Amino acid sequence: MDENDDFVVQDFLPYLLNRAAEDSSLAFQTLYKGRYGMLRTEWRVLFHLGMYHRMTARDISTRAKIHKTKISRAVAKLSARRWVIRNRDEADRRSEHLELTPAGRSVYEDLREQAKIYDRRLTQEFSAGDVALLRRMLRQLASMETSVDPD
Amino acid sequence: MDENDDFVVQDFLPYLLNRAAEDSSLAFQTLYKGRYGMLRTEWRVLFHLGMYHRMTARDISTRAKIHKTKISRAVAKLSARRWVIRNRDEADRRSEHLELTPAGRSVYEDLREQAKIYDRRLTQEFSAGDVALLRRMLRQLASMETSVDPD
DNA sequence: CGGTAATAGTTGGTTTTGTAACTAACAAGG
DNA sequence: CCTTGTTAGTTACAAAACCAACTATTACCG
């Protein structure tokens, strides 16, 4: 237990990441919460459907690494609000395909626009190169693929 | 709502930050949970006391941006385990000064060592310069001061 | 086929968090 | 002093997350 070495827990990467994540998410959270009464998981499910147009709960679970129970409840709410439509797969009746309704899509479009603005505000104090590097490192830390694989 | 512009929500910084934070914290979380049955807030309180030796709940709240109810509960648990000692401030009997016991300090020392190792593992695939930049950017995004101000 | 295992999604019960109200102690102005 | 306001910390109740067991359906394999 060497007391006088260089590592300080305040620089511990998971700590810094969590702090940055919490703080940077806060204002945007109040936006989708206040404007649409959505929870974070609902917003995440919504934007995945906005991007990929047609996914099963399992697809979202795999891609976004969200547990299936959270997705199940999020989809239930989104579907009750008629923002998402569920279509049972007739070839495999266990799973169902999810899609945004036009109403759901307009919510998505709105929040996507807001996210874009918000993202710019967060990154404006950094150089474009630094921001690009930051995103690359974050993706790698999250063991996400850098490339966007098609369906 | 321009569909074919460049912004994709998957690059949304709060999303990337949250994913990286969750994934990078996971293994370490199982460590302090499994080894000491601690929650994240308890670990955070512990390491703040490990660094600063003597703080009030409010000090921790301010510095770590943790809500006072969470700290209250964390301190209650840490104190029940005799890892933290509470000393009421006789000049202002509302607040109490918190310190690690020897047992608490040895838990801290152990976890700090583990954190150091874990941090190295997380960052080893990046260059030292990139990691330094990453930490700087994360601190800035969390609106934390870069300098460590003394008590 | 028939039985066991695996998968998609849901539900229930327990923890954990978040929010608001609370107690106790101090501060400040009349 | 004594009312009003503020601060440190705790507690209670509601919302959300977590984990385990459950149903329904398909896959595998003797």
pLDDT digits (tens, 9 = 90+) for A54-70: 999 999 999 999 999 99
Domain covering B15-141 in this structure, CATH number: 1.10.10.10
Give the pLDDT confidence of A31-53 residue by residue, as tens digits.
999 999 999 999 999 999 999 99
Is the CB of B138 inside 8 Å of chain A's CB atoms?
yes
Are A121 and A28 within 8 A, CB to CB? no
pLDDT, tens digit, for every residue of B83-108?
999 999 999 999 999 999 999 999 99
Q: Kindly state the tokens that stand for B127.
A: 């260059």
State the CB neighbour count (10 A cutoff) for residue B6: 7
| Annotated domain spans of chain A | 12-141
Sheet holding B55-56, edge to edge: B55-56, B96-100, B84-88
The interface residues of chain B toward chain A in range 80-119, judged by CB-CB distance below 8 A, are 109, 112-113, 115-116, 118-119
Whether the CB of A51 is below 8 Å from some CB of chain B: the reply is yes
For strand C, list residues 14-73 of chain B whose Cβ lies within 7 Å of it.
39-41, 67, 69-70, 73
List, for residues A109-147, the tens digit of each pLDDT value.
999 999 999 999 999 999 999 999 999 999 999 976 544
CA distance B14 to B21: 10
Q: What's at A76, amino acid-wise?
A: A
The CATH classification number of A12-141 equals 1.10.10.10
pLDDT value, residue B147: 43
| Residue among A17, A126, A148 minimizing CB distance to B17 | A17
pLDDT digits 0-9 by tens, B21-62: 999 999 899 999 999 999 999 999 999 999 999 999 999 999
From residue B45, how far is each of A143, B14, B58, B108, B148 by CA, in Å?
Answer: 28, 25, 11, 10, 17
Q: Report the C-alpha gap between A51 and A135 in whole angstroms.
A: 19
